[in-house]
């Protein structure tokens, strides 16, 4: 898992539509300049469009529902974005922008931080073959990072790629994601007891997350080790529970980890380094990039 992977190489693709960046200024959200098509062509596609109707919907929802869209849990400083589309660069870089649709009726939206993404996710889910509840979680995690750490440039498609490789978006074994985003039954990996080529990690959580007081297990749709979860955990859906088996919490925790170094993930070397911080993905950088790139392309089809 420590072997150096060659930089991913992807074919030339048409330029992605430039997307505006959302910046918080004096308590207001404003849309600043967009990247040019040429620059977009050098990056993977898949950047979430949070402008126009969608941004208005999200902010309006916060006002109507009396809740801000950034979870109250502490987000570790320093975050770095990741790729998700494709282009003619030698490694994963920034994402393009995915398709999106007008927001739902905000007056009747449930009190949930990512409620404004429901219609967008429902329509895109079929194209990218990701459960809508997971897609909302990934897109919301991007939204939070664009506001908390805009220089990190994290994209939903990279988070989705991690979810794909870790558990096929919560669909591993008999598990599936429920309407509330929780994996049922809970996803618990094999004991890290040093057998069968597995790492050897003694228990660090007294079995609280994995029900094993002898050895640690990776848990949840993003397969966090208990010790790692404690460092990046957050209550993304504001339900009062910080749960690694909740894809909302897990997706934002992944975003926190990817962006921990505060480096710009649109730079190939930074993106690769961020992916390698996940021990089980260190030797699968190309696979992560391919998945992210595929999601970006399908989202624009």
DSSP letter at 277 equals T
Residue 226 has pLDDT above 60, yes or no: yes
Phi and psi dihedrals of 183, rounded to 5?
-80, 125
Task: Give the Cα separation of 79 and 92 in Å (integer).
Answer: 16
Which of 267 and 12 is assigned the larger pLDDT? 267
Q: Above pLDDT 70, what percent of the chain? A: 63
- Judge contact between 82 and 92, C-beta under 8 A: yes
Tell me what pLDDT residue 54 has. 45
Least confident of 34-38, 191-195, 230-234: 34-38
pLDDT of residue 301: 80
Please confirm whether the linkage preceding 2 is cis (ω < 30° from 0).
no
Q: What is the pTM of this model?
A: 0.69
Q: Mean pLDDT, the chain, as a whole number?
A: 73
Q: Could you tell me which of 92, 46, 146, 90 has the C-alpha nearest to residue 266?
A: 92
| Per-residue DSSP letter, 17 | P
């Amino acid at each position: 898992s420590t072997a150096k992977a060659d930089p991913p190489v992807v074919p030339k693709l048409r330029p992605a539509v430039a997307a505006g960046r959302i910046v918080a200024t004096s308590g207001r959200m404003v849309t600043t300049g967009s990247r040019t098509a040429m620059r977009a062509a050098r990056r993977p596609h898949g950047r979430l469009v949070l402008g126009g109707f969608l941004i208005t919907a999200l902010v309006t929802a916060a006002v109507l529902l009396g809740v801000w869209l950034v979870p109250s849990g502490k987000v570790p400083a320093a975050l770095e974005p990741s790729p998700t589309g494709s282009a003619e660069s030698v490694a994963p870089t920034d994402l393009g922008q995915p398709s999106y649709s007008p927001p739902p009726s905000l007056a009747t939206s449930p009190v949930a931080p990512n409620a404004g993404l429901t219609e967008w996710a429902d329509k895109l889910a079929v194209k990218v073959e990701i459960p809508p509840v997971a897609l909302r979680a990934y897109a919301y995690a991007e939204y939070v990072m664009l506001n908390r750490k805009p220089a990190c440039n994290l994209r939903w498609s990279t988070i989705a790629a991690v979810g794909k490789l870790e558990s096929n978006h919560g669909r591993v074994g008999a598990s599936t994601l429920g309407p509330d985003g929780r994996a049922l039954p809970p996803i618990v990996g094999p004991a890290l007891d040093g057998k069968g080529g597995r790492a050897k990690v003694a228990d660090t959580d007294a079995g609280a997350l994995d029900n094993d007081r002898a050895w640690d297990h990776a848990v949840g749709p993003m397969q966090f080790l208990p010790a790692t979860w404690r460092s990046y955990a957050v209550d993304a859906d504001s339900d009062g529970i910080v749960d690694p088996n909740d894809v909302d919490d897990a997706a934002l925790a992944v975003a926190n980890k990817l962006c921990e170094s505060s480096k710009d993930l649109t730079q190939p070397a930074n993106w690769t380094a961020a992916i390698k911080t996940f021990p089980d993905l260190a030797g699968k950088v190309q696979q992560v990039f391919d998945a992210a790139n595929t999601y970006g392309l399908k989202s624009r089809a």
